[in-house]
Amino acid sequence: EDKVVQSPLSLVVHEGDTVTLNCSYEVTNFRSLLWYKQEKKAPTFLFMLTSSGIEKKSGRLSSILDKKELFSILNITATQTGDSAVYLCAVVRPIIQGAQKLVFGQGTRLTINP
């Protein structure tokens, strides 16, 4: 059965700290891995990772994928209170007729205290 596991489940840090969120997976026919940020509403897309070892970067956020060890990390440097959210990792799994579905981890709840 497909499995995506995130750790830690919850993390509380002070503003300015750097955090690393982890995501490991066991999925048949892996295609790519996505990170989403979920505040009180819709998950918003952060990154798509397809190739091993290539870092994706957007401002203070960066992410990398290791397809050999089956995990990804999401780094946030110089955290701000606006980074407080649930961060979701999802693996793209192909389904029939060329489409795909997402298999999500349970999320990491990140709280940034001022």
Partner 1 sequence: NAGVMQNPRHLVRRRGQEARLRCSPMKGHSHVYWYRQLPEEGLKFMVYLQKENIIDESGMPKERFSAEFPKEGPSILRIQQVVRGDSAAYFCASSRLLETQYFGPGTRLLVL
| List of residues contacting partner 1 (CB under 8 A) | 4, 6, 34, 36, 41-45, 48, 88, 90, 95-107
Q: Would you call 74 exposed, middle or buried from its count of C-beta atoms within 10 A (0-12, 13-18, 19+)?
A: buried
Q: Toward partner 1, which CB reaches closer, 1 or 69?
A: 1
Please, which residue, 77 or 100, has the CB nearer to partner 1? 100
Q: What angle do CA 113, 74, 85 make, to 5 degrees?
A: 40
Taking CA atoms, 20 is separated from 8, 64, 102, in Å, by 9, 11, 22
What is the closest distance, in whole angstroms, from the C-beta atom of residue 16 to partner 1 in the complex?
28
Minimum separation from the CB atom of position 107 to partner 1 (A): 5
Q: Which tokens is 27 given?
A: 């999925």
Nearer to partner 1, 15 or 22 (CB): 22
